[in-house]
Amino acid sequence: QFAARVEPVDLGDGGRGVILALREQTEQVMIERMRSDFVANASHEIRTPLASLIGFIETLRGPARDDQEAREMFLATMAEEAARMTRLVDDLLSLSRIEVAESRRPEERIELPELLARMAETLRPVAERSGVALELALAPLPPVRGDADQLHQLFGNLLDNAVKYGASGKRVRIEAEALPMAPPEAGPLSGRAAVRVAVIDFGEGIPPEHIPRLTERFYRVDKARSRRVGGTGLGLAIVKHILRRHEGHLAIQSELGRGSRFTVYLPVEES
Ligand code: ADP
């Protein structure tokens, strides 16, 4: 049945028609494989905390039944695991909601400096508890067209990561500025008017070979570490999808032992 789809292709060059048809099929197979990988990964991610919850319940019913101290410890760990599962399910729901909305252009006029300053105020006490000072360097910016909730989520995920993985650097910096012409690292926005927001940490950095894969669902540099800090492995995938809807771009720079810079470019409407 696929060969029938080859026929209408202009076969000025016979080989080419065949290649196109095969590619189409390969793409379809790849999409299906990605979808089933995602379901398998998501199930595994949900099963892991569930298995540990079940293990703890068994211990609480059996060996730890009369050990008050052990019970308290197990219950605290169980509460943490349950909270992580909740975050995971929330992130999965977010991802699917963002995907559904992806084809609709966001319509709100967003004042980013206001949004970022408000977010920083909320996050500051949390960051300070991890020994991280938040610094803000916000230039005046033209409004961007966007979805306020999604942009809040996008910058929230980047800031959350900067505090989680960059805590050893003791400070996290948010910089924002308007650019009449975005640089080449802005990808499709390069050469156009754009707003640039960078979330910078001075922590351990990321080995270069991992950088291109960070926005894949469930990709983590150090799985155990991500689990320990309560990560779901979906934060940057969510960032990528929100940026796709906003026709924006993410650039990641990092140096081992020095820190990381996650730079978001958003288009500015030219008047
Ligand atoms: P997670 O829930 O694991 O944090 P993310 O999708 O937000 O998932 O990030 C994916 C991975 O990228 C993380 O597990 C971590 O290894 C790495 N990462 C993200 N942000 C930073 C950062 N600021 N510094 C170092 N590593 C980071």
What's the complex ipTM? 0.98
The pLDDT > 70 percentage for the chain reads: 90
* Comparison of pLDDT for 145 and 230, the residue scoring more: 145
pLDDT exceeds cutoff 80 at 2: no
User: At 18, is the pLDDT very low, low, confident or very high (cuts 50, 70, 90)?
Assistant: low
Q: Which atom of ligand 1 is nearest to the CA of 230?
A: 2
pLDDT in tens, 172-205: 999 999 999 999 999 999 999 999 999 999 999 9
What's the rounded mean pLDDT across residues 153-169?
A: 96
Q: How far apart are CA 256 and CA 207, in angstroms?
A: 6
Tokens of 139: 């230039």
pLDDT exceeds cutoff 50 at 4: no
Q: Which atom of ligand 1 is nearest to the CA of 199?
A: 23
Ligand 1 pocket: which residues have CB below 6 Å? 157, 161-162, 165-166, 201, 203, 206, 214, 219-222, 226, 231-237, 260
Dihedral sign of CA atoms 146, 151, 152, 155 in order:
negative
- Identify whether the C-beta of residue 91 lies closer than 8 Å to the C-beta of residue 234: yes
Please report which helix (H) or strand (E) contains residue 57, including its range: helix 14-61
User: At 9, is the pLDDT very low, low, confident or very high (cuts 50, 70, 90)?
Assistant: low
pLDDT of residue 29: 85
Which range scores top for mean pLDDT: 23-27, 43-47, 170-174?
Answer: 170-174
pLDDT in tens, 72-121: 999 999 999 999 999 999 999 999 999 888 888 899 999 999 999 999 99
Q: Which atom of ligand 1 is nearest to the CA of 221?
A: 16
**Ligand 1 pocket test: which of 220, 232, 238, 255 has the largest number of ligand atoms within 8 Å of its C-beta?**
220
**Ligand 1 pocket test: which of 85, 158, 216, 226 has the largest number of ligand atoms within 8 Å of its C-beta?**
226
pLDDT of residue 102: 87
pLDDT exceeds cutoff 90 at 139: yes
Tokens of 11: 């076969």
Which range scores top for mean pLDDT: 13-27, 40-54, 100-114, 253-267?
Answer: 253-267
- Identify whether the C-beta of residue 221 lies closer than 8 Å to the C-beta of residue 206: yes
Q: How far apart are CA 94 and CA 157, in angstroms?
A: 12
What's the rounded mean pLDDT across residues 158-172?
A: 96
The pLDDT > 90 percentage for the chain reads: 77
pLDDT exceeds cutoff 50 at 3: no
Q: How far apart are CA 226 and CA 126, in angstroms?
A: 18
Q: What angle do CA 117, 85, 210 make, to 5 degrees?
A: 65
What's the rounded mean pLDDT across residues 17-32?
A: 70
Please report which helix (H) or strand (E) contains residue 78, including its range: helix 68-101
pLDDT of residue 11: 61
pLDDT of residue 128: 96
User: At 144, is the pLDDT very low, low, confident or very high (cuts 50, 70, 90)?
Assistant: very high
User: At 221, is the pLDDT very low, low, confident or very high (cuts 50, 70, 90)?
Assistant: very high
